[in-house]
Structure formats: structure tokens, C-alpha cells
Chain A
Amino acid sequence: MMENNRKDRSQNYLNPYFGGVLLGIVLILTFYITGRGLGASGAAKSTVVTTIQSVAPEYAKKSHYVSQFISDDNHPMNNWLVFEVLGVFAGAFLSGTLYGRLKPRVEHSPKITSKKRLVVALLGGLLFGFGSQVARGCTSGAALSGMAVLSFGGIITMMGIFGSAYLFSWIFKRLWI
């Protein structure tokens, strides 16, 4: 009985339109308070920049890309997005706890093995990370936050992400359904 209750609750989600309005309000508040939007890949970039800087400081200084994000008076980890993403982990953990969804597992289609899912997920993350640097932001920072302030580039990147994801998901249909 207890087990049943927990399982039922873990399938509960917010109504998507209600969730969307809440997400929109969080975004409005973020712009109202900070003048900028939300982000996700930027925190990973700060981590990579910091790692390169501490492991290979000479390379970091020479690299035209990495050096753009290093300044003497501000450590790259002391970055708005790094704290925001720490909050994302905490907020998602809180929601997962409330709904009873905390459980270590590999989620995958029954047609593929866990191992294949892990390898493909790593590859997907790699491509997404690479692309997020080309476009200066991901679904959060470029597409969603860009759209909130009507940014032309943000809308173009949003169309690029969803259009290409739609095409490629059908090419790799066997990974999913």
C-alpha cells in the first residue's frame, strides 16, 4: 500500500501550462532583479575555465577563448550563474523529494541497454556543450532568456535547437521509442 502510494505520487507533475506560467514568473523576476536572464551551460563553462586555469595556467592565458573569461579581480567561479546552478540542483532535489522521485537509475528505452544509453547520453552532452559555446548559450541562456526580451539571436537559436532536435530524433528514433 505504502509502495503504491509512493509510485503514484512519483508520476504526478504540475499541469504544463501552470508550470510554464511559474517558469515565466521566475524569469520575469530574474530580469527584474538582475537585469539578465537565467542560464545553465554558463556554469559548466566557468567550471571548465577554472579547471584549465588551475591545471594549465599558461595555456589558459594563451587560449583566445579561455582568456576572455579570466580577469585578475574576479575568479571565474565567483559567477552569478555558478550560484544559480547550485540553486537549480537544490530546487530540483527539493521537488524530487516532495514527489518521491529520488532514485538512482539509468532511464532508457526498453530497446536499448543501460550501457548504450550512458554512452549515447555522454555523446549528446558533448555535442550540446560544444554547440552551446558556438551559440553563446543553451536552451536556458540563449533560447528561453533570449525570447523573454525578444532577442533575435535567441529566437534563431531556439529554432535551430528544436528544428534540428526534431530531425535528429527521428533519425535516432530507435534510441527512444
Chain B
Amino acid sequence: MGPLIPNDIIPADWNNAIALLLGMAFGFVLEASGFSSSRRIMGTFFGYDFVVLRVFFTAAVTSMIGILYLDYFGWVDFGQLYIHPTYLMSAIIGGVIMGFGFALGGYCPGTSYCAVAIGKLDALAYSIGLFIGIYLFTFAYPLLEGLYNGSFMGYVTAPEVMGINQYLFVFFVVIAALGMFFVATIVQRKVKKVEY
């Protein structure tokens, strides 16, 4: 039963080779979807190209449903999966800072690596900025330690916090995603096309 490596079904020696292969698939899909262009990515916020919204939420919904099915069939133990922990304030503030960087840079870290791989020099500048930002954080850490470790809610899922059934939660996310796709299609038809 999965996850395969933690349960020694695939030996841990394979870890790095598998990381490389999964990373290749990740990078290929991102680039082939057009995430190597900052102006294409930014289209989501101005309404002239909703590719990020469509790819991101389709991927989120697909993986939610897929993982719950694997758990339901007994192929993977949901309890053994790593749930990104919730530190409420740092999750919000970190997200807002990242959004600010997103609006200036036009990439997130993963997409900037893809753009560097096909020769985008602005993505290279962005990636250098990424390292500087992380480096600066190590200096700011003493000031931010309270925020960083504060408001810890545990390794909780959204349906647990909201007190609802997880299948029902995913159903609502699917409805919300379909609603967004529908609105995006209408908006994109009305917004003036931007050449890039």
C-alpha cells in the first residue's frame, strides 16, 4: 500500500532518481502549458488569458479527487501523506508578500525555473532575486520568529477546520472551480486581446 517509498515498497535508494523523473514531468507540463511566459501568466489577473487559473485549478481538483480515490480503494493511506502544516498568520502574510512579488515578477519560483530553461533572461533575474530574498529572510528571522512559529493549528485539512465531510468539501471545490472556468470564459471573450 502507498505511499510506496515510506512503506519500503520502493527502496529509498531510488528517491533521488524518482525526484528527477517526477520533476521532469512537472517541468514539461508547466512549459507545455505556457507557464514559461510571464505575460501569459499575468493574463489571468488582467483577464486576457486565463491559462493559469484553468491549469492550476484543474490540477488541484484532479489531484484532490485522485488522492481521495486512492485512499478509498486502499491503495494509499491518507494518514501517511504529508499535510502542509497550518500556521495561520504566516500563511496569510507570506501569501500576501508572494502575491506582491508575483505582480512585479510575473512568475512563481517553479515557473521561473521553466522560463530560465528556455532562455528567458527576465526569469533568470527573477531567480537570482529569489535567492536574495531567501538569504535576506535568514537575517530577518529573529524579528519574524514569533510570526513564523505562531498561530499553529496543526497539520489540519480544510474540511477538519470547517467541520464538514471531506468528500463534500471536494465537491464544493469542484463546483467553485467549474464556476470560475465559466466566468473566465465569459470575461476573456469581453477583454481586449493583448499581443505577447
Question: Smallest CB-CB separation from A134: which chain B residue?
Answer: B94
List residues of chain B with CB within 8 A of the CB of A66.
Answer: 138
| Closest Cβ neighbor of B105 among chain A residues | A124
Q: Is the CB of A177 within 8 A of B25?
A: no
Known: A35-B81, A129-B109. A168 touches B32 (CB 8 A): no
The answer to whether A34 has its CB under 8 Å from any CB of chain B is yes
What residue in chain B is nearest A38 (Cβ atoms)? B26
Whole-angstrom CA separation of A154 from B91 in the bound complex: 8
Least distance between A165 CB and chain B CB atoms (Å)? 4
Contacts of A83 in B (CB 8 A): 15-17, 19-20, 23
- Cα(A140)–Cα(B130), bound, Å: 14
Instruction: Give the contacts of A64-92 with B (CB-CB under 8 A).
Output: 64-66, 78, 80-92
Q: How many residues of A sit at the interface, in one of the four size bands?
A: 35 or more
- B152-180: CB near A (< 8 Å → 1, else 0) gives 01011111110000100110000000000
Residues of A within 8 A of B144 (CB): 134
Across chains A and B, the number of contacting residue pairs, with CB separation under 8 Å, is 525
Is residue B187 contacting chain A, with contact meaning CB distance below 8 A?
no
CA distance in complex: A149, B167 (Å): 12
Knowing A120-B105, A132-B109, the reply to whether A87 touches B126 (Cβ < 8 A) is no
The one of A45, A84, A95, A129 in contact with B32, judged by C-beta atoms closer than 8 angstroms, is: A95
| Contact yes or no, A156 B91, CB < 8 A | yes
Contact B100 A95 (CB under 8 A): no
Size class of the B contact interface (CB-based, 8 Å): 35 or more
Q: Which residues of B contact A165 (CB under 8 A)?
A: 45, 98-100, 102-103
Scoring B55, B95, B123, B196 by chain A CB atoms within 10 A of each residue's CB, the highest score goes to B95
Q: Which residue of A lies closest to B61 (CB)?
A: A24
Q: Is the CB of B39 within 8 A of A41?
A: no
Within 8 A of B (CB), among A92-134: 92-96, 99, 101-109, 117-134
Closest to B3 in A: A35
Residues of A close to B21: CB separation below 8 A: 87
Cα-based distance from A158 to B3 in the complex (angstroms)? 25
Which residues on the A side are within 8 Å of B83 (C-beta)? 146, 149-151
- Write out the residue numbers on chain A whose beta carbons fall within 8 Å of the beta carbon of B33: 13-14, 16, 19-20, 23
A153-B88 contact in complex given A44-B134, A169-B103, A176-B42, C-beta closer than 8 Å: yes
CB within 8 A of B117: which of A96, A135, A142, A168?
A96
CB distance from A79 to the nearest CB of B (A): 9
Given contacts A63-B141, A128-B98, contact A87 B127 (CB under 8 A): no
List of A residues within 8 angstroms of B60 by Cβ: 24, 144, 147-148
A-B contact pairs, 24 of them (CB 8 A): A13-B34, A24-B66, A34-B18, A40-B113, A44-B127, A83-B19, A88-B23, A88-B114, A91-B26, A92-B113, A94-B27, A96-B117, A107-B38, A122-B128, A128-B126, A134-B94, A134-B147, A134-B148, A136-B84, A148-B64, A149-B67, A154-B84, A160-B93, A161-B99
